[in-house]
A and B are shown apart, each in its own frame.
Chain A
Amino acid sequence: MLIYLLRRAGVGLLMLLALSVLVFLLLRLTPGDPVSAYINPSAPISPEALAELRTRLGLDQPLPVQYLAWLRAALTGDFGYSIQRGGAAVLPLVIERIGPTALLMGCALVIAVVVGIATGIVSAVRRNSGLDVALSVIASLGVSSPAFLTALLGLYFFSVLLHIAPSGGMLTPGVPFSFGDLFAHLILPACLLSIGYLALIMRYMRASLLEVLNQDYVRTARAKGVKEFWVIVKHATRNALLPVITLIGSTIGVAIGGAIFLESVFNWPGMGLLLVNAVNSRDYPVIMCATLIIGACVIAVNLLTDLAYAAIDPRIQVAS
């Protein structure tokens, strides 16, 4: 188990390294001279000063050397300076955005898992009933409507028409911090973010439970006279949950993608908003750092899912 864990972690690290090479190359391929980001366009600059600046920034070196220099600095936590935000160090800028995003995504995930699994069970147990069809149609709509559209609709109905939710931000400015205030700002975006994910989980749960309900041991349990409720809850659901757990891990990227749109509609001060603003203003050090941190989170979540899967399903023997 330990060897498996170490090997998986090693592979994860390699992936992260490869990712950093990829993003580095992509951002260096951009049209335009990277040095121009560091000069004030309205002030004239002599060719000598430009060459000097280029040398100082290391931009006259070949690409592999530039990459290694960047990597060496990055390993010590120095991801460079934001071009846009008056030269603030990038890492703290990105780190402070992790918390809000994690909060938003965590809440959305909890809602999606709880409601998705519950409706999936109901849908499978009452399959082909009116309720099942209605839930399936809603799920299809949920999967097909993009996060930014649900975000806009939610904002329109709950903030503009009904005035029951704040229209954006994480805290009311000028008011001392309180959990009630945070919760009021959190609940609408979290619910909206959970919709797409919830629909996905519901579909999987329904299909997976239907498959399990056809198994012999479920028939055995029913034949023994176990109450239908316990057959569903204890015998069927526990096994049907297994594929859903993998789904949660493998589609975490979908949730992150949704979070970016939600954050940008609701002005939620998280990674997504930071990344979108950085992309809009071509702030490459920030893009690079944010991308890597998100990539690291995705790799970590995938690793955790695999481990959880191995721990929950006794049929899976981890080869060491």
Chain B
Amino acid sequence: MTVVSMQTIAGKPAGPMRRALGRFFSNRAALVGLVIFVPMLLAVVTYPLWWPYGPNAIDLTALNKGPSAKHWFGSDGVGRDVLARLLQGGRTSLMVAVVSVAISTVIGFVVGAFAAFGGRFVDGISMRLVDLAMTLPPVIFLLVLASIAGTGIAPTILVIALLSWPVLSRMVRARLLELRERDFVVAARGMGAGVGHLLFRHGLPNSIDIIVVYATLQIANAVLLEAGLSFLGLGIAPPEASWGNMLNSARSAAVLEHFPWQWMFPGAALVLTVLAINFIGDGLRDAFDPRSDLN
């Protein structure tokens, strides 16, 4: 989609997608976000090609050593390289975030769509469920769910996915309720379009902007949730590396006091990533909002 809309056809006025991209690339904060995020993503994905240490490889000559030319970010209590663990942790954290957001986006869209198209009864039931899910602080729900699901990558993905769909479903519902009354949808219905056609030919393209923005911002949120869970020892369990469980090691006073590189680097990576994704998400939101041209 990006490639197509980037092509300019002489004399043709720019389409909405192209104008949105133009707005996105003229947004300074969003560009900063990209400049931070893209190299980080590249490093996380390609690190086994250029970094000599594995996340669980043990170097007995370097126990709790500070940053050096050999281990750029130092090493931990059993001689594992902190940079390698940080990069592997980034893989885990981003993977958990992306997969859980993908699942919750699907749930959110489907629930929102059913609430909007399924009649008053379905609408009432599903929106009360959403109300209920939004009553409790997310972290509390997270704890309750985590106590049931246990630790590990799959349960963590499940817990975060189950937690984050309600807000999206409400936004999708609002958009589709409005869309339902529009002439082209009424016409499609009149011509006998089924629910599937209505949802995926009309509903999805017309709510793609909220879905993209929501999903982007929610990835940042999911990274934080995963880190929080792992920090409390309820998310990704060691020896698997994640930013949260690397920070968890700082709960021991010795690590906190004497080996700050073991938790400060993952902490910084976490904040930078979340900040960058938030900037990108805010940029996308402004870019998709046609009113923002007026300001």
Measured CB to CB, the residues of A under 8 A from B are 15, 18-19, 22-23, 26-27, 29-31, 140-141, 143-149, 152-153, 155-156, 160, 167, 252-254, 256-257, 260-261, 264-265, 275-276, 279-280, 282, 284, 287, 291, 294-295, 298-299
Q: Which of B132, B137, B251, B275 has the most CB of A within 10 A?
A: B137
Specify the chain A residue showing the minimal Cβ separation from B266: A149
**B147, A287: Cβ atoms under 8 Å?**
yes
Contact with A along B253-295 (1 / 0, CB 8 A): 1001100100100010011001100110000000000000000
Which one of B63-71, B192-200, B225-233 is at the interface?
Answer: B225-233
Contacts of B256 in A (CB 8 A): 152, 155-156, 160
Q: Which residues, 110 to 166 on B, are CB-close (under 8 Å) to A?
A: 128, 131-132, 135-140, 143-148
For the complex formed, measure the closest distance between the CB of A191 and the CB atoms of chain B, giving whole angstroms: 18
Checking A31, A153, A261 against B231 with a beta-carbon cut-off of 8 angstroms, the contacting residue is A261
**A253, B232: Cβ atoms under 8 Å?**
no
**A253, B234: Cβ atoms under 8 Å?**
no
Contacts of A279 in B (CB 8 A): 143-144, 146-147, 232, 234
Q: In whole angstroms, what is the CA distance A284 to B220 when docked? A: 31
Q: Does B224 contact A (CB under 8 A)?
A: yes
The main secondary structure of chain A at its interface with chain B is: helix
**B132, A257: Cβ atoms under 8 Å?**
no
11 additional contacts, CB 8 Å, given A26-B148, A31-B148? A167-B253, A252-B137, A253-B138, A275-B140, A279-B147, A279-B232, A287-B144, A291-B144, A295-B135, A298-B135, A298-B137
Contacts of B227 in A (CB 8 A): 146, 148
Q: Does B215 contact A (CB under 8 A)?
A: no
Contacts of B270 in A (CB 8 A): 145-146, 149
For the complex formed, measure the closest distance between the CB of B79 and the CB atoms of chain A, giving whole angstroms: 23
Specify the chain A residue showing the minimal Cβ separation from B224: A146
For the complex formed, measure the closest distance between the CB of A128 and the CB atoms of chain B, giving whole angstroms: 12
Contacts of B143 in A (CB 8 A): 260, 275-276, 279, 287
Q: In whole angstroms, what is the CA distance A298 to B232 when docked? A: 23
Q: Which residues, 204 to 228 on B, are CB-close (under 8 Å) to A?
A: 220, 224, 227-228
**A294, B136: Cβ atoms under 8 Å?**
yes
**A19, B135: Cβ atoms under 8 Å?**
yes
**A257, B131: Cβ atoms under 8 Å?**
no
Q: In whole angstroms, what is the CA distance A152 to B252 when docked? A: 11
- CB pairs A–B below 8 angstroms (13 shown): A19-B135, A19-B136, A140-B278, A149-B267, A149-B271, A257-B228, A260-B143, A279-B234, A284-B147, A294-B136, A295-B135, A298-B136, A299-B135
Tally of chain B residues near chain A (CB < 8 A):
38
Measured CB to CB, the residues of B under 8 A from A are 128, 131-132, 135-140, 143-148, 220, 224, 227-228, 231-234, 247, 250-251, 253, 256-257, 260, 263, 267, 270-271, 274-275, 278-279
For the complex formed, measure the closest distance between the CB of B149 and the CB atoms of chain A, giving whole angstroms: 9
A291 in contact with B228 given A144-B275, A153-B267, A160-B257 (CB within 8 Å): no
Checking A27, A257, A265 against B139 with a beta-carbon cut-off of 8 angstroms, the contacting residue is A257
**B147, A282: Cβ atoms under 8 Å?**
yes
**B144, A260: Cβ atoms under 8 Å?**
no
Checking A19, A26, A143, A155 against B145 with a beta-carbon cut-off of 8 angstroms, the contacting residue is A26
Specify the chain B residue showing the minimal Cβ separation from A16: B135
**B135, A23: Cβ atoms under 8 Å?**
no
**B131, A27: Cβ atoms under 8 Å?**
no
Q: In whole angstroms, what is the CA distance A295 to B135 when docked? A: 7
Specify the chain A residue showing the minimal Cβ separation from B275: A144
Q: In whole angstroms, what is the CA distance A146 to B256 when docked? A: 17
Contacts of B274 in A (CB 8 A): 144-146
A141 in contact with B271 given A15-B132, A152-B263 (CB within 8 Å): yes
**B139, A280: Cβ atoms under 8 Å?**
no
Specify the chain A residue showing the minimal Cβ separation from B147: A279
Contacts of B247 in A (CB 8 A): 148-149, 152
Q: In whole angstroms, what is the CA distance A208 to B150 when docked? A: 42
For the complex formed, measure the closest distance between the CB of A153 and the CB atoms of chain B, giving whole angstroms: 7
**A23, B271: Cβ atoms under 8 Å?**
no
Specify the chain A residue showing the minimal Cβ separation from B251: A265
Q: In whole angstroms, what is the CA distance A254 to B267 when docked? A: 20
**B233, A260: Cβ atoms under 8 Å?**
no
**B267, A152: Cβ atoms under 8 Å?**
yes
Q: In whole angstroms, what is the CA distance A291 to B247 when docked? A: 26
Q: Which of A23, A148, A254 has the most CB of B within 10 A?
A: A148
Q: In whole angstroms, what is the CA distance A155 to B135 when docked? A: 31
A280 in contact with B233 given A141-B271, A141-B275, A160-B256 (CB within 8 Å): yes
